[in-house]
Amino acid sequence: MKLRAGQSLSSPVDTTTVVVIRAPGDDLDVTCAGVRLYDPRGGEPAPEGAADPGQMDGTQIGKRYADDDLGLELLVTKPGKGTLAVNGTPLGLKGAKPLPASD
Amino acid sequence: MNLTMLLDMAADGFGERVVVGSRDGGLTAARLRELAVGGAKAVQEAGANAIVYLAVNGPAFQVALFAAAYAGVPLVPVNYRLGGEQVSQLLANHPGAYGIVEARHAEVASRAGLVGPTPKEWLAVAARCAAGPDPEPDFAETPAVIIYTSGSTSAPKGVLLRHENLVSYVLGTVEFADADAEDAALMSVPPYHIAAVSNALTNLYAGRRVVVLEDFTPEKWLAVVRAERITQAMVVPTMLARMMDADGLDRTVPTLRSLAYGGAKMPPRVIERALREWPQVGFVNAYGLTETSSTVALLGPDEHRAALDSPDPAVRARLASAGRAVPGVEIEIRDEQGKPLPPGGAGLIWISGGQVSGEYAGTGPTVDDRGYFCTRDQGRLDPEGYLFVEGRADDTIIRGAENIAPAEIEDVLLRHPDVCDAVVVGVPDEEWGQRIEAVVVPRGGGQVTSAELRDWVRGHLRGSKTPDRIALWPELPRTPTGKLIRRDIVADLTSDA
């Protein structure tokens, strides 16, 4: 699927939801526990499939998972048990580089 | 992406943490969400198309900010210090709004057709309506917040801050739940200032408790910092100047780790003094505008300390800079014709990025075709990307054929050991178009004279930049957000003549 920055996506097999922070223009296969993420407000039904027991590393709320080479970055808004992956490769946890509070 | 996402995440991620008010009796993230949802339902039930907030900062403001988001309507914080007529004009832009109005402003508001609960009543309403299912907002294209800028030459314009702008700013600069449970932030800025909005969002997302001080005095601020064990604070430069200049004040702030400032120029003398007085505090200078959802450039704690102690004059100079662009933001300096200038070139500051709104009610977006917004501030970038802000383009004095930046002369005056505050303005002149005049606030007990100050300026700058007259006033009319209304100063100077 082609992703859009700002889009909210859910996992059909666990509680994970993410927001797309950055995405390339290309078609990507983005999955959680091996099953494709989908946009519940997009009108399409949830993809079928069972969670892959080998892809259950889990995610944490508020953390970003990214593939910098592809230019894909997802922010977890609700955590879950599955592993986030793109085109079969697990996404890496992005390190924090917060700025000093300035407001 | 909208603001409700930030509060939903906070309630899920650290729902039991107190995020608003004192540790005892403050609102947890989960409770803030409940009240925001309750408030949203009350607003929807009233059929309102906006929430107008006409009151001081406090928990009611935080609830209103998010209630507006859950209801899918904009929040409009209004400057209650404006004259009755100006407030009425602003309120006339929002018929059909749900009002949150402090008792002392009720009369002005009702004359403009706005009636509503006081902040305290609002919190009770929100609590009452909290039970039951979440509202189903229509996430149409309504802005999250509308803030009226204090126009320097004309009526205030409403800046439309969209959900994407604000969320973009938060996600670009804050790490979720990054704050320790012991952290606490102190805000002394009124709710109609962009920093109050962005601060509420960034602190919430970081999981940092926010305490509000409504009427700043140096004594009160220091007392609250100690009593609430504040770790982070944001002030405008005049607040820091007053704290550093006051005699016999206990300035110990053992828990304070970070102090951010912005909104106006910081006199170098004041920041240098503060850096030495509070060696354990990290100072942050933030530059930004309402139209850019707050901070676009910042000078961080390490950069402050490095500049203070550096043998390299180029590095030392950075103490007076606004720092470097925050992630996601690009800064460009352009000449009057719009051509980008290389580092070192002085011109107008243009900004682009996801957090930039540059959109006004009634006139729409003002960004150019590359997404850049013109700040109308003069400035330059050094080769390492440090931004030096030199003042509003509109404040430039045109004397004869010469353009003179008030900031250059003000900087020289502020360096004089007997000067507390200073402003330089152009006053109408038959011969020159404008002539240069200044107002200085002398240090208490100081005996400095106008003549001495004119000599001081002449000793540092060319003769043509010496003010013709320097008035000595006990204080300058700065707004609560630290800004000077220069046309008021010109009016005072010309009526005295």
Highest-confidence segment of B223-232, B439-448, B461-470:
B223-232
C-alpha B448/C-alpha B443 separation (Å) is 8
Residue A62 to chain B, least CA–CA distance (Å): 5
Q: Is pLDDT larger for residue A6 or for residue B457? A: B457
Which amino acid is located at B286 in the chain? A
Domains of chain B and CATH, by start = 3-186 (3.40.50.980), 396-496 (3.30.300.30)
Considering only CB atoms, A102 lies closest to which of B5, B8, B260, namely B260
Residue B94 to chain A, least CA–CA distance (Å): 28
What confidence category does residue B215 fall into, taking pLDDT thresholds of 50, 70 and 90?
confident
Contact residues on chain B for A61, CB-CB shorter than 8 A: 9, 12-13, 176-177
| pLDDT for B327 | 87
What confidence category does residue B497 fall into, taking pLDDT thresholds of 50, 70 and 90?
low
Residue B458 to chain A, least CA–CA distance (Å): 37
- What backbone torsions phi and psi does residue B284 show, to the nearest 5 degrees? -130, 120
Decide if B284 and A96 are in contact by the 8 Å CB cutoff: no
3-state secondary structure of B448: coil
Across A46-65, average pLDDT: 94
Residue that the structure tokens 């003179």 belong to? B404
Region of poorest pLDDT, from B6-20, B188-202, B439-453? B439-453
Decide if B300 and A77 are in contact by the 8 Å CB cutoff: no
Q: Write the pLDDT tens digit of every residue in B238-293.
A: 899 999 988 889 999 999 999 999 988 898 889 999 999 999 999 999 999 988 88
Whether the Cβ atoms of residue A36 and residue A16 lie closer than 8 Å to each other: no
How many residue contacts between A and B have a Cβ separation below 8 Å?
74
Mean pLDDT for chain B overall: 91
Q: Write the pLDDT tens digit of every residue in B343-385.
A: 999 999 999 998 888 888 888 788 999 999 999 999 999 999 9
Whether the Cβ atoms of residue B10 and residue B204 lie closer than 8 Å to each other: yes
Contact residues on chain A for B199, CB-CB shorter than 8 A: 103
Query: Is beta strand A84-86 parallel, antiparallel or unpaired with respect to A89-90?
Result: antiparallel
Q: Write the pLDDT tens digit of every residue in B31-55.
A: 999 999 999 999 999 999 999 999 9
Q: Write the pLDDT tens digit of every residue in B157-208.
A: 899 999 998 998 898 889 999 999 999 999 998 899 999 999 999 999 999 9
Residue B68: both structure tokens together? 């507006």
pLDDT(B124) > 60: yes
Contact residues on chain B for A95, CB-CB shorter than 8 A: none
| pLDDT for B151 | 58
Residue B211 to chain A, least CA–CA distance (Å): 13
| pLDDT for B154 | 63
Whether the Cβ atoms of residue B203 and residue B178 lie closer than 8 Å to each other: no
| pLDDT for B162 | 93
Decide if B1 and A8 are in contact by the 8 Å CB cutoff: yes
DSSP state of B43: H
Residue B244: both structure tokens together? 């550093």
Q: Taking chain B, what is the end-to-end CA distance rounded to the nearest angstrom? A: 56
Element containing residue B274 per DSSP (H, E): helix B268-277
| pLDDT for B272 | 94
Decide if A101 and B12 are in contact by the 8 Å CB cutoff: no
What confidence category does residue B85 fall into, taking pLDDT thresholds of 50, 70 and 90?
confident
| pLDDT for B144 | 96
Contact residues on chain B for A19, CB-CB shorter than 8 A: 1, 5
| pLDDT for A28 | 93
Element containing residue B270 per DSSP (H, E): helix B268-277
| pLDDT for A44 | 85
Residues constituting chain A: 103
With a CB cutoff of 8 Å and minimum separation 6, the contacts of B135 are B37, B40, B41, B44, B70, B71
pLDDT(B152) > 60: no
Query: Is beta strand B209-212 parallel, antiparallel or unpaired with respect to B157-161?
Result: unpaired
| pLDDT for A34 | 95
| pLDDT for B135 | 80
Q: Taking chain A, what is the end-to-end CA distance rounded to the nearest angstrom? A: 38
Residue A71 to chain B, least CA–CA distance (Å): 14
Query: Is beta strand B387-392 parallel, antiparallel or unpaired with respect to B373-381?
Result: antiparallel
Nearest CA in chain A to B294: A103
